[in-house]
Amino acid sequence: MAPSGWATQQLAEFLAVLTEAPDDRAAVVDALERIAESFEADAGVFLSRHEVVSSLGWGTRGADEAELASVIASDRPVLSLPGVGRCETVVIPVDRDAGTTLVLARASYRFTGEEVGLLRGMARVLALGLRLLGTVASERRQTEENRALVASLQERHTLAGRLSKIQRKISSRAPLAEVLNAITSGAAELLGDEVVALRLVEESDPGSMVMVSSIGVSSEIGQPILRLPVGASPGPGCAAPWPPRSIWRAGPLAAWWSVPTARIAPTRRRSRRY
């Protein structure tokens, strides 16, 4: 018979293990190790709806789920472990709603009634701990989702404000250069870069692209890339081809973004519609 003092100590140490676990997965692994050590078990397994979540004592081949299902359904469960032999087994439900079960196997001697009672108490503590950790994890996920949603809404608000500004310039028949500069400025703000350029296919030469607007591009940098063939690389920092209608960001991660055709209000320059 296990002394009551020993049982109290084991339960207290088991609770300490659960409170230190960072998440429910780690809690299962740590709890199984602690229980197996406390009861000198040769093997142990934690199952969720008959699927193995964590196990120890089965070696490299792992626990056999079909064999465990047979053991759980048996009135006198017995397991045969590689290198150990025939083991008396105890099956303890952890959380019936979650479908979780704890199975321990021991070859040296059978589990006593007092040990089974303590195991049931540990299983109840484990069930409560896993529910608590699951709730905390769910709240963390919800917090992260809310944070991402707020960031997305802020980005959309900024984009909508920029698009509105560009639309007003177009509607007011602002010069084309002013509209293009507004597009480049908006792209720089959204990308968070100090150097951004907008290039378009040249009307008189469809095989060439011209930089029509830029932010932070000095004359030393801008002059060599002012006009390039369609599909040419924008520079040493970007090996990808440069498609028609593109915005280029400079910096450590130089790259281009294709600009899709958009429906906008017409604007005129030199009596031509763009």
Whether residue 245 is predicted with pLDDT greater than 80 in this model: the reply is no
Least confident of 43-57, 106-120, 250-264: 250-264
Better-predicted residue by pLDDT, 208 or 217? 208
Q: How far apart are CA 186 and CA 211, in angstroms?
A: 16
Where along the chain do its domains lie?
4-140, 173-273
The percent of residues in the chain predicted with pLDDT above 70, rounded, is 79
Buried b (16+ CB within 10 A) or exposed e, 223-252: eebbebebeebbeeebeeebeeebbbbbee
Is the CB of residue 44 less than 8 Å from the CB of residue 55? Answer: yes
Residue 47 in this model has a pLDDT that exceeds 60? yes
Question: In whole numbers, what is the pLDDT of the chain averaged over residues?
Answer: 77
Q: What is the pLDDT of residues 133-184, one digit of tens each?
A: 888 888 988 999 999 999 888 888 887 888 888 888 888 888 888 888 888 8
Contact 130, 98 (CB under 8 A): yes
Q: Span 68-75, mean pLDDT?
A: 81
Instruction: Supply the pLDDT for residue 224.
Output: 63
Kindly report, residue by residue over 229-243, the tens digit of the pLDDT. Answer: 776 655 554 434 444
Residue 180 has a pLDDT of: 84
Strand pairing class (246-249; 78-81): unpaired
The whole-number average pLDDT for the span 205-234 is 71
Assess whether pLDDT exceeds 90 at residue 103: yes
**pLDDT at residue 253 tops 80:** no
* Least confident segment among 86-90, 186-190, 235-239, 269-273: 269-273
Measured CA to CA, the distance from residue 34 to residue 28 in angstroms comes to 10
Residue 247 has pLDDT above 50, yes or no: no
Topology of the domain covering 4-140:
Beta-Lactamase (3.30.450)
Q: What is the 3-state secondary structure of the chain?
A: CCCHHHHHHHHHHHHHHHHHCCCHHHHHHHHHHHHHHHCCCCEEEEEECCEEEEEECCHHHCCCHHHHHHHHHCCCCEEEECCCEEEEEEEEEEECCCCEEEEEEECCCCCCHHHHHHHHHHHHHHHHHHHHHHHHHHHHHHHHHHHHHHHHHHHHHHHHHHHHHHHHHHHCCCCHHHHHHHHHHHHHHHHCCCCEEEEEECCCCCCEEEEEEEECCCHHHHCCCCEEECCCCCECCECCCCCCCEEEECCCCCEEEECCCCCCCCCEECCEEC
